[in-house]
Structure 1
Amino acid sequence: MAIKVLVVDDSSFFRRRVSEILEKDRGLQVVGSANNGKEAIAQVKKLKPDVITMDIEMPVMDGISAVKAIMAEDPTPILMFSSLTQEGAKATLDALDAGAMDFLPKKFEDIAKDRDEAAHLLQSRVTALGRRRAVRRAAPAAAPTRPTATRPLANRLSSASATAAKPTESKRTAPIRKSGKRYKLVAIGTSTGGPVALQTILTKIPANFPHPIVLIQHMPATFTGAFAQRLNSLCKIKVSEAKDGDMLRPGHAYLAPGGKQMLVDGRDSAARVRIIDGGDKVNYKPCVDVTFAACAKVFGGDVLAAVLTGMGADGRDGARLLKQKGAKIWAQDEKSCVVYGMPQAVAAAGLSEASYPLDEFAERITVEAGHG
């Protein structure tokens, strides 16, 4: 059955363009369109789409207000279209906070080498969101609860249809206990759904956290600075966009800058960040594999690494290098992921020790790293 899509934008040209691209994929069906947020809310009730593409700036009702209303009444995966500007970054992050799952630039040429690549990227993003929606709809029904804007997005979407736990997933039955392993660094990689996941985790990490944290989030260059600032304003620990030469310090999280690659070098007791050009041979900029590999070289097995929600398999090869050095690898469980791609790749390869729900990560990291 085709994934049903609602296209929302105040530009008739852009609505038509997006619709044409989506309908070239036989697995996608555009069931309707809307030219403002208020109309979108009505169309969602009427058409029950599996995925919504949403513009941010629209008359009558803007996209962020529409996202909040839709997630409160009819939780549906939403992909935002945004401009690659500082203002666009802030608005997009606001939309993700409101409940949107993913975003893409409105100018397709900013994300792809040609039209075919851009079309494939849009189709694949919408398909991934639609498949997760289908999994949740097909799962055994649980007691419904009213969604709230403060609950993680994946939990809001699955509140009325929880998926059965996988054999490798955590079932919390006892207090979390430290394994006794020694650490000098925490490394976290993520993509689609990552901004909400990282915020959920990092806002619960205590100010006296004893190790540095490196964060790799697939995100454009104009977004990572704004995202780091937002996290820093919300968290007890310090969060910043990583800069070349930064000394890795305890209680400080370093977010890899978009369009670049983040490495670490030096000795594990005096490691520094190295920021280099992204290069044409690596698909992701920043890339989880690249940073994880650098962490393995400098810190060896003294790393606690986590791979969170995201499309594709970035992080698997880097996790393998860390695992070979004796590092501990965790993955986010399927139920709490927006897209179960990156964590699945790590788990399927036998690299992760366990898969945990998103809402357990902060406590588990805090306890395992020496606090709690």
Structure 2
Amino acid sequence: MKKIQVLVVDDSAVVRQVLSALLNGAPGIEVLHAVADPLLAMERMRLSWPDVVVLDIEMPRMDGLTFLRKIMADKPVPVVICSSMTADSTQLSVEALSAGAVAVINRPRLNVREYLHGHAEELIAAVRMAAGSTPKAAIAPAAKAARPAKPAPAGGTRKYGPLPPAPEKFTADAILPAAAGAVSVRTEPLVAIGTSTGGTQALEELLAALPAHAPGIVIVQHMPEKFTAAFAARLDSLCAITVKEAESNDQLRPGLALIAPGGKHMLLRRNGNQYYVDVIDGPLVNRHRPSVDVLFRSVAKCAGANALGVIMTGMGDDGAAGMLEMRKAGARTVAQDEKSCVVYGMPMEAVKLGAVDKIVPLGAIDREIMAQRGGA
């Protein structure tokens, strides 16, 4: 069987050495070249095109983001970002995900050798996942008309401490019980979206296509802690709707999308005819926190037929069981089609489970969302 051919691009000799040793030591993976900057990388890529690129962001001569955009425009290739954890690099990494990178792995500036050895399994898994993905060239959002000033965000805190990893694969039962019955109360329509690998780029395209009067939206995007605030801010700058990282007691309303913070679960809660979100600690569910299954179950419990469930590009099965619960509670359910997914994992699992009413391409999901509101 052909090995996964990897190109490592990093200006640190230590990082190049460690990444090469770890990846070459993994079955089925081979490092073709390890180079110090993107200009050298382009020379090597003319000779042999890699299956995956492991890329730093901050480098001399050409930064990683410029390089990523160039190869995505010329000939898309799966890219895993492996970069230092700083405020600037976090913002740049979010931009890289929007430009087509399929995964981000943070690393510290100090003790990097020990850190990479300690996270070798995560790195190798990211490369294997990337090799099975279909990267998409970024689509520049259309220019939009000026919009009125947005209301100030609700109060709350965004300073969440890290949680230890769970040793086993929990279901949503670890966070909240399943719905006891159908929801009979009619409320404003809402949309719940779950996505993972490739989702940053897909969400950007989807949310930028929505008008300001779109239904309220709650979103779980699998993303590292501290990245979601920067990601939400980026989307907010591009979209007619308001997009923000969710905080407990945020009220969902038309024209607002709330993104679950990395490292926290987000649940929907109803009070009368109004919806709010709770942002909580808890174990990993389907090895994720936030988990799509947790969000979808909470939506099934308190919104039922008032909701539309959307499951998009991503690896694994998080969200499939929760979407089935939403469908049984009367919600409409939609899955992104295989052709437009970077990784057709989460939608495929939901389809296999019988949780999906309709399969549509990414470019048609905005119409499904507006149909939930009863018009465009």
**TM-score between both structures, scaled by the size of structure 1:** 0.82
Tell me by how many angstroms 1:282 deviates: 5.9
1:197-228 deviations in Å (ceiling 9; x for gaps): 1110000111112x210010111221111111
Q: Secondary structure of the residue that 2:343 maps to in structure 1?
A: coil
Provide closer, same or farther for how the CA distance between residues 81 and 264 of structure 1 changes in structure 2, counting only shifts above 3 A.
Answer: same
Q: Which residue of 2 aligns with 1:243?
A: 247
Q: 1:292 aligns with which of 282, 290, 296?
A: 296
Q: Which residue of 1 aligns with 2:198?
A: 193
What is the alpha-carbon distance in structure 2 between the residues aligned to residue 183 and residue 45 of structure 1? 55
Matched, 1:77 2:78: yes
Provide closer, same or farther for how the CA distance between residues 217 and 13 of structure 1 changes in structure 2, counting only shifts above 3 A.
Answer: same
What is the alpha-carbon distance in structure 2 between the residues aligned to residue 234 and residue 247 of structure 1? 22
Matched, 1:4 2:9: no
**Gaps in structure 1 of 5+ consecutive residues:** 137-146, 153-180
Q: Secondary structure of the residue that 1:266 maps to in structure 2?
A: strand
Provide closer, same or farther for how the CA distance between residues 108 and 130 of structure 1 changes in structure 2, counting only shifts above 3 A.
Answer: farther
Alignment-mate amino acid for residue 73 of structure 2:
A
What is the alpha-carbon distance in structure 1 between the residues aligned to residue 48 and residue 138 of structure 2? 23
Q: 1:207 aligns with which of 180, 187, 212?
A: 212
1:3-25 deviations in Å (ceiling 9; x for gaps): 11111111121112222222232
Tell me by how many angstroms 1:287 deviates: 0.8
Q: Secondary structure of the residue that 1:81 maps to in structure 2?
A: strand
Tell me by how many angstroms 1:116 deviates: 8.0
Provide closer, same or farther for how the CA distance between residues 325 and 149 of structure 1 changes in structure 2, counting only shifts above 3 A.
Answer: closer
- Total equivalences in the alignment: 328
Provide closer, same or farther for how the CA distance between residues 116 and 38 of structure 1 changes in structure 2, counting only shifts above 3 A.
Answer: closer
1:205-354 aligned at under 5 Å gives the runs 205-209=210-214, 211-267=215-271, 269-279=273-283, 283-354=287-358
What is the alpha-carbon distance in structure 2 between the residues aligned to residue 103 and residue 275 of structure 1? 23
Moved over 6 A (4+): 114-117
What is the alpha-carbon distance in structure 2 between the residues aligned to residue 99 and residue 224 of structure 1? 17
Aligned Cα root-mean-square deviation (Å): 2.5
Q: Which residue of 2 aligns with 1:177?
A: none
Alignment-mate amino acid for residue 206 of structure 1:
P
What is the alpha-carbon distance in structure 2 between the residues aligned to residue 313 and residue 293 of structure 1? 14
Matched, 1:29 2:30: yes
Tell me by how many angstroms 1:367 deviates: 2.9
Q: Secondary structure of the residue that 2:344 maps to in structure 1?
A: coil
What is the alpha-carbon distance in structure 2 between the residues aligned to residue 306 and residue 356 of structure 1? 10
Tell me by how many angstroms 1:148 deviates: 6.4
Provide closer, same or farther for how the CA distance between residues 280 and 254 of structure 1 changes in structure 2, counting only shifts above 3 A.
Answer: closer
Tell me by how many angstroms 1:118 deviates: 2.8
**TM-score between both structures, scaled by the size of structure 2:** 0.81
Alignment-mate amino acid for residue 27 of structure 2:
R
Alignment-mate amino acid for residue 348 of structure 1:
K
Matched-pair contact (CA < 8 Å) for 1:129–1:338 = no
Alignment-mate amino acid for residue 221 of structure 2:
Q
**Gaps in structure 2 of 5+ consecutive residues:** 142-185
Matched, 1:130 2:131: yes
